[in-house]
């Protein structure tokens, strides 16, 4: 199959969160299974496409819309189409927000125009970047208008739309809808993009894509309820026959403690001595004083979703019990300030690194004893799977993909971490104390470490689940009379 991926993020070059890792790893896994993948990704900022990505191929300009594109071949069956131009390469910041953290006010307009350009490229069987793909796989709200454009132009091209996080809906006012030139009937009629007075890119994808997927089975069930549906549960309820939850995998080459170049010592489940060295080095480099409790870690966006409020509430209690805590991430300015204040109140016990850093992320995963994920909701989560790979026991709130990937070690025979059901600081602290009890039993802790390190979280099996969806779509398309 020839499959086009459309994504706003692609690791390691354009990365805000887990979407970047998933886009890159799933594309590579599908190409390894023998399929041709073209990843379409807009380049934000004045820099040219990353030169280290691979071997540059063809390039050109897309006509009156002014988009510039360059193809880079990663491998025989995997290439990236880097797209730049007005609204992308003429500004400094990330895919969604300025350096200040404020969202781009014209974000929907520029992504909407990108979607139109991509759709018009595929009107002809011989497109701008070679043969028209057999199928288009769109990731999250920035590509949500693409299935609508493909539908409105009558292009015989099946689409898969993956919901990575339903909370980001890509909202826009009616005047943006008019500026995009979409037909009026796509606004408010049955099946339109109107959402409580605004338009929603995400809703467009949910309605017009041939098939919907999300990133864990539990999240697929949760988003059908008012508690997690973000106002879209009614739309999703009409598409349950076309909604599948597929658990995200991880890149087990990049996240491999035996070969990780960011670690001072490698290790595997048969010899964990290197992990103890990583723990010592992490404590030394971050100025963490000695403690008689676990060394805990948090890595992620400093946003409400991630439960950082819960962590700040219980951190003083953990520190009083001898815990040490290292936090890595960027996010809401108010949260960043509060974390800095908390670290200042507990010198040598809590360290907050307000930054994005791949080297630190790897060393923290390896050096920590436990990894904290008190998310209020979590579509899938990758860090708990990275932690398991590195023999670091995750402590998680049992929602979404955290429920699917972590079984409680106190309640299940083959437990793979510690989880709690009720979203409260008390429940989170209780789970941490249960983990502490296990950590103080070296024999039991080593059994748990080896068990979680033996979990297969690779993309191979999970990529095949996507392939089955693609194959079913193409089989149904070929059997439908024209």
pLDDT of residue 285: 95
Q: Which of 68, 38, 57, 209 is nearest to 133 (CA)?
A: 38
Taking only Cα atoms into account, the Rg of the chain, rounded to an integer number of angstroms, comes to 23
Rounded Cα distance between 83 and 473, Å, is: 28
Hunting for tokens 């990780």 — which residue is that? 260
244 pairs with which residues across the strands?
A: 213
420 within 8 A of 397, measured Cβ to Cβ: yes
For the chain, what's the residue count?
482
248 within 8 A of 466, measured Cβ to Cβ: no
For 231, the 3-state DSSP assignment is coil
256 within 8 A of 390, measured Cβ to Cβ: no
Q: Which fold has domain 273-455?
A: Rossmann fold (3.40.50)
What does CATH list as the number for 2-249+460-479?
3.40.50.2000
DSSP 247-279: -----TTTS-TTT-TTSSS--BTTB-HHHHHHH
pLDDT of residue 59: 57
Rounded Cα distance between 252 and 195, Å, is: 40
CA torsion 321-323-329-333 (nearest 10°) is: 30
- 121-173: per-residue pLDDT in tens? 999 888 777 789 999 999 999 999 999 999 999 999 999 999 999 999 999 99
157 pairs with which residues across the strands?
A: none
Rounded Cα distance between 326 and 209, Å, is: 41
pLDDT of residue 64: 46
Domains 2-249+460-479 and 273-455 are alike in CATH topology: yes
Q: Which of 342, 309, 313 is nearest to 326 (CA)?
A: 342
Q: Which residues of the chain have pLDDT under 70?
A: 45-66, 86, 478-482
The domain limits of the chain are: 2-249+460-479, 273-455
Cβ-based burial of 74 (10 A; exposed 0-12, middle 13-18, buried ≥19): middle
Longest dimension (CA), the chain: 71
144 within 8 A of 205, measured Cβ to Cβ: yes
DSSP 22-66: HHHHHHHHHHHTT-EEEEEEE--SSSPSPGGGSEEEEEEE-GGG-
- pTM score of the predicted model: 0.91
Exposed e or buried b per residue across 355-380, where buried means at least 16 C-beta atoms within 10 angstroms of its C-beta = eeeeebbbbbbbbbbbbbbbbbbbbb
134 within 8 A of 102, measured Cβ to Cβ: no
452 within 8 A of 445, measured Cβ to Cβ: no
pLDDT of residue 86: 67
182 within 8 A of 200, measured Cβ to Cβ: no
Strands 171-172 and 198-200, by their bridges, are antiparallel
65 within 8 A of 85, measured Cβ to Cβ: yes
């Amino acid at each position: 199959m020839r499959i086009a991926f459309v994504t706003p993020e692609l690791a390691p070059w354009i990365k805000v969160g887990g979407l970047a890792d998933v886009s890159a790893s799933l594309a590579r896994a599908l190409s390894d299974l023998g399929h041709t993948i073209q990843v379409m990704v807009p380049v934000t900022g004045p820099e040219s496409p990353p030169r280290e990505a691979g071997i540059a191929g063809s390039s050109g300009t897309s006509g009156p819309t002014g988009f510039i594109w360059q193809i880079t071949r990663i491998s025989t069956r995997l290439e990236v189409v880097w797209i730049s131009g007005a609204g992308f390469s003429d500004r400094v910041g990330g895919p969604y927000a300025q350096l200040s953290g404020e969202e781009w006010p014209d974000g929907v307009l520029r992504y909407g125009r990108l979607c139109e350009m991509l759709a018009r490229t595929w009107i002809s069987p011989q497109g701008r970047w070679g043969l028209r793909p057999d199928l288009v796989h769109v990731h999250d709200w920035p590509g949500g208008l693409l299935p609508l454009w493909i539908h409105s132009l009558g292009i015989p091209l099946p689409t898969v739309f993956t919901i990575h996080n339903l909370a980001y809906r890509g909202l826009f006012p009616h005047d943006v809808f008019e500026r995009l030139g979409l037909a009026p009937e796509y606004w408010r009629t049955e099946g339109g993009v109107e959402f409580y007075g605004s338009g929603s890119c995400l809703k467009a994808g949910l309605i017009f894509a041939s098939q919907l997927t999300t990133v864990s089975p539990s999240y697929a069930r949760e988003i059908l309820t008012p508690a997690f549906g973000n106002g879209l549960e009614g739309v999703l309820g009409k598409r349950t026959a076309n909604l599948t939850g597929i658990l995200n995998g991880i890149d087990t080459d990049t996240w491999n403690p035996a070969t990780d170049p960011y670690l001072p010592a490698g290790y595997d489940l048969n010899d964990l001595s290197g992990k103890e060295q990583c723990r010592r080095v992490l404590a030394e480099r971050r100025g963490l004083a000695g403690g008689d409790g676990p060394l805990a870690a948090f890595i992620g966006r400093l946003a409400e979703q991630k439960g950082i409020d819960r962590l700040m509430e219980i951190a003083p209690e953990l520190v009083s019990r001898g815990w040490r805590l290292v936090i890595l991430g960027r996010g809401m300015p108010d949260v960043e300030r509060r974390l800095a204040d908390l670290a200042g109140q507990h010198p040598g016990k809590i360290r907050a690194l307000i930054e994005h850093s791949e080297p630190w992320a790897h060393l923290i995963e390896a050096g920590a004893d436990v990894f904290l994920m008190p998310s209020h909701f979590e579509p899938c989560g990758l860090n708990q799977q990275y932690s398991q790979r590195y023999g670091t026991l995750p402590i998680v709130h049992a929602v979404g993909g955290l429920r699917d990937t972590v079984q409680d070690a106190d309640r299940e025979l083959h437990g793979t971490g510690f989880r709690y059901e009720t979203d409260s600081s008390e429940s989170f602290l209780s789970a941490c104390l249960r983990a502490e009890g296990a950590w103080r039993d070296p024999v039991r802790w080593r059994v748990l470490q080896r068990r979680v390190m033996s979990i297969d979280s690779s993309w191979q099996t999970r990529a095949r689940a996507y392939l089955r969806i693609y194959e079913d779509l193409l089989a149904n398309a070929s059997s439908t009379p024209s």
